[in-house]
Amino acid sequence: DAGVIQSPRHEVTEMGQEVTLRCKPISGHDYLFWYRQTMMRGLELLIYFNNNVPIDDSGMPEDRFSAKMPNASFSTLKIQPSEPRDSAVYFCASRLSGGSYEQYFGPGTRLTVT
């Protein structure tokens, strides 16, 4: 199994630009999570989906952030416009319903906004 795949692995952009992060969950997993990790705030849940439907987006910082899951094998997290305070590592994770709630994390995207 390839595991959770994220792209790009690194992104450097200028303030005001649009940023799109991509995630492919593990095949067959029906939950998908987007997290943001910074030194100051730790690991924060931004949004999660179940069967492609957003269930809880209360962690999305503001309207500049949006996430979609058009099908079971792909999700995007978009930031428009980006700001320097958005600099962080963004993780995507997936899991299978039922069972232990164990989450499988992707390698993350390190975003730097200058």
| Residues within the interface to other proteins (CB under 8 A) | 31, 33, 42-43, 45, 48, 50, 55-56, 58, 91, 93, 97, 100-108
DSSP secondary structure, the chain, as one string? ----EEE-SEEEE-TT--EEEEEEPPTT--EEEEEEEETTTEEEEEEEEETTEEEE-TT--STTEEEEEEETTEEEEEESS--GGG-EEEEEEEE-SSTT---EE---EEEEE-
Cα–Cα distance for residue pair 53/60, rounded to 1 Å: 15
Least Cβ distance, residue 11 to other proteins (angstroms): 16
With respect to other proteins, which residue has the nearer C-beta, 45 or 72? 45
* Identity of the residue, 71 or 100, whose beta carbon is nearer to other proteins in the bound complex: 100
Nearest approach, Cβ of residue 107 and other proteins (Å): 6
Residue with smaller CB distance to other proteins, 57 or 81: 57
Least gap, CB of 16 to other proteins (angstroms):
28
CB of 106 to other proteins, least distance (A): 7
